[in-house]
Structure formats: structure tokens, C-alpha cells
Amino acid sequence: MAKVSTMKHSDVLEVKILDYPGDSSPCPCLLPTGGPEYFAFIQQKVASLKVSLEKAYPGRTRVTYINLQENPADQESAEGQLLVNKKLCAPLVLIDGEPKFSGMILVQKIVKEVGLLLGARE
């Protein structure tokens, strides 16, 4: 019989990847933002992050990718404005609502940071 999760929605730690692709980034990047290679690279990193977090913390995390150019409400958020106004480099990684990393999706560092936060909740 399958085990039914008793975790509440609030028990799931959210990792949001905010992206603002375009060719006017203030940061030196490995790939020009906005091109097909960039989108493929970002999607691969997001998928890798999802797999790594699920493996490390099954059922305890959720990863969401948000392209700010396609989501005006998120673009207007305080975090979105950091990218729109070029205060931080895209992509911006938010963990539990707090900006933690910008300019790159560092999978292992994100997994470690999520582990620290989940451990603090217990």
C-alpha cells in the first residue's frame, strides 16, 4: 500500500528561479541570454536541480522556473525588480522567498542551502 504524505503545503520548501532573458545583462555570462542555447541550458539546469532536490529531500521541495518577460506580476515583485533594474544578474534563485544566488544555477550549493533550511524547520 502506498504511503500517503501528511505534509502540509507549507512544509514544502519552494525554490524559485527568476529569469529575465535578454541581451543587456550587466553580468558576464557563459551564454548570451535569450538565445535557444541559453534556454536549453537553463531548462537543463532547472531539471537537474529538481532531480537533485527530490533525491536529497523526497517530497519536501518544489522548484519553479519563472521567465519574467512572460509574467508581468512576478516582474513587478521586489525580487523581479532586482533583475529588471539590473541590480542582480539573472537567473536569480530564491529559496523560501529569499534571494540566495544570482547569475547561475549552482545545483550543489542550492541543495546544501535547502538542506540547512529544512534542518532548521525540524
Choose between 14 and 119: higher pLDDT: 14
Classify domain 21-121 by CATH number. Answer: 3.40.30
Query: Mind listing the pLDDT tens digit for each residue in 4-59?
Result: 334 444 689 999 999 998 745 556 555 556 678 888 989 999 999 999 999 999 99
Q: What pLDDT score does 105 carry?
A: 94
C-alpha cell at 56: 536529497
DSSP character for 102?
Answer: E
Confidence at residue 86, expressed as pLDDT on a 0 to 100 scale:
87
Between 103 and 51, whose confidence is greater?
51
Tell me the pTM.
0.84
CA distances from 31 to 7, 21, 37, 40, 42 (A): 39, 11, 7, 11, 10
